[in-house]
Amino acid sequence: MGNIPNISELESTKKTVKFFEGLLRSTPNGIVVTDASQNIVLVNGRFSSIFQQHWRDVIETNLFVWLQQLDSGAVDLWTELVASVYREGHCYDANFKLTSTEGVTHLRVNASLVEQESTEDQGIIISNWRDITKQIQMEEQVAMSERLAVLGKLSGSIAHEIRNPLATIDISALNLKRKLKDADEKTKSQIDRIIKQVKETVDTIQSLQDLSKLETPNKRRWDISDIITNGEAISALPQNVHLINAMTRDKLFVDVDEKQISIVLRNLLSNAAHAMDNQGTVWITAYSDGDGYVNISIKDSGPGIKPENINKIFQSFYGTNVKGFGYGLTICRMIMEKHGGTIDATSENSKGATFTLRFPPIHSETV
């Protein structure tokens, strides 16, 4: 018959267990303890919440079940991590990603081999999972700001040189179109293609020039209908784009820099036209939500945005198969953030895309 632990030993064990349970609960990082077969023998709620699970549903499962839910390559990366831990006793800064409908979560993992007091402890690893998403986003924002600042400076010096030859090409193409009105369809199509490409290039130059204008907003009170009207006027939409505007004067007001918000509207309307190949319908709606925020919704009848791209289109220099989506949307987001507002996109394939601008309520002293 083995030795029976006395009451003091049991009490000491309970205190130790409670101590470690408290540590697991208090840490902001995910903690996982795995055995040689990668079965989870201990886990805290923070790690489980990464996968929207309760810790009771994660413990005693195999870690590979959860690694397979991370972005591709996670299983191979963990295998390399384990090999490094067995070889060196520890491993630092292995980076994993989890992509969901809510965005991308960046995880940085450090791991160590638990001291082996017996053969039963062989291969036990404790890993620390830290969410570094905000850090990554801040680093990307700094890098983006630096790149955009350089572009803004360059654009001012080269825009004039580029605009002049483009204007000559545009005028010449329009003259050819008038003189060759009886030409065959292939010739007409080629001339229209020249005019279209010139327009897209001019839009690109204008977006670059907008970068140099992103100063602190000079805000004042505006009727939202005037903001939309001014934005439509500078957008110069093609004739085959039908604009349906649903707004009422003297109903909704915003505190904004009209010139900067016009840049946002011009970019969104230009993108909508490009997405529809310069023919289709755009609906603009202004409304107030229950929190007092004023919203502008811009919906097009284009092909929509693929689900895997919807969270990437506001990133600097990100390109999709849909023409017109690029750093112009990054500029839009920067302007909206300077105004304390937001810009969001929703879409379904073949059902168009909707961009929503959300402006904060006007402070009483501004009205």
Domain spans of the chain? 7-131, 132-212, 217-367
- The whole-number pLDDT of residue 251 equals 87
The sheet carrying 353-359 orders its strands as: 241-246, 280-288, 294-300, 353-359, 342-347
- Mean of the pLDDT values across residues 228-238? 84
**pLDDT-wise least confident of 72-76, 96-100, 186-190, 204-208:** 204-208
pLDDT band at 99 (very low <50, low <70, confident <90, very high): confident
**Mean pLDDT (whole number) for 270-288:** 91
Enclosing H/E stretch for 16: helix 7-26
Q: What is the pLDDT of residue 211?
A: 61
Of 84-88, 185-189, 196-200, 201-205, which range is least confident?
A: 201-205
Beta-strand pair 241-246/103-113 = unpaired
**358's torsion region: left (phi>0), alpha (psi -120 to 50) or beta?**
beta
Classify residue 327 by its DSSP letter.
H
Note whether 7-131 and 217-367 share their fold: no
Please give the average per-residue pLDDT across 313-337, as a whole number: 65
Query: Averaged over 185-206, what is the pLDDT?
Result: 82
DSSP, collapsed to helix, strand or coil, labels residue 282 as: strand
Residue 64 has pLDDT above 90, yes or no: yes
Is residue 124 a contact partner of residue 111, using CB atoms and an 8 Å limit?
A: no
pLDDT of residue 334: 83
pLDDT band at 9 (very low <50, low <70, confident <90, very high): low
Q: Is the pTM of this model over 0.95?
A: no
Check: CB of residue 96 under 8 Å from CB of residue 72: no
Q: What percent of the chain has pLDDT over 70?
A: 81
How far apart CA 222 and CA 226 sit, in angstroms, is: 7
Lowest mean pLDDT across 39-48, 69-78, 187-196, 202-211 = 202-211
R_g of the chain computed on alpha carbons: 29
- How many CB atoms neighbour CB 131 within 10 A? 18
Q: Give the least confident one: 101-105, 266-270, 285-289.
A: 101-105
pLDDT confidence of residue 310: 79
pLDDT confidence of residue 296:
95
**208 pLDDT higher than 80:** no
Greater confidence (100 vs 39) lies with 39
C-alpha 342, offset from chain centre? 12
Residue 306's pLDDT is 82
For residues 237-258, average pLDDT: 87
H or E, element range at 66: helix 63-67
Indicate the residue type of 183. Answer: A
* Predicted local distance difference test score (pLDDT) of residue 342: 93
Query: For residues 196 and 331, what is the distance between their CA atoms, to the nearest angstrom?
Result: 23
Q: Which CATH superfamily is domain 217-367 in?
A: Histidine kinase-like ATPase, C-terminal domain (3.30.565.10)
- Cα separation, 276 vs 191, in Å, equals 19
- Residue 195: band (very low, low, confident or very high) from pLDDT cuts 50, 70, 90: confident
Cβ proximity of 34 and 124 under 8 Å = yes
Query: What average pLDDT score do residues 93-100 get?
Result: 91
pLDDT (average), residues 144-160: 69
Q: Which amino acid is present at 85?
A: V
Name the CATH superfamily housing domain 7-131: PAS domain (3.30.450.20)
Cα 248 to chain center, whole Å?
Answer: 32
> How is residue 7 written in tokens?
């009451």
Instruction: Give the H or E element holding residue 134.
Output: helix 133-179
**Counting every residue, how long is the chain?**
367
- Tokens encoding 316: 């600097």
Instruction: Report the pLDDT value the prediction gives residue 20, as an integer from 0 to 100.
Output: 65
What is the pLDDT averaged over residues 44-70? 93
Whether residue 4 is predicted with pLDDT greater than 60 in this model: the reply is no
**Closest to 257 in 3D by CA, of 315, 311, 217, 206:** 217
Partners of 280 in the beta sheet?
241
Averaged pLDDT of the chain: 82
User: Residue 30: what residue type?
Assistant: G
pLDDT for residue 8 is more than 70: no
How crowded is the C-beta side of 359, counted as CA atoms within 13 Å?
28
The architecture CATH gives domain 132-212:
Orthogonal Bundle (1.10)
In the chain, what percentage of residues exceed pLDDT 90?
37
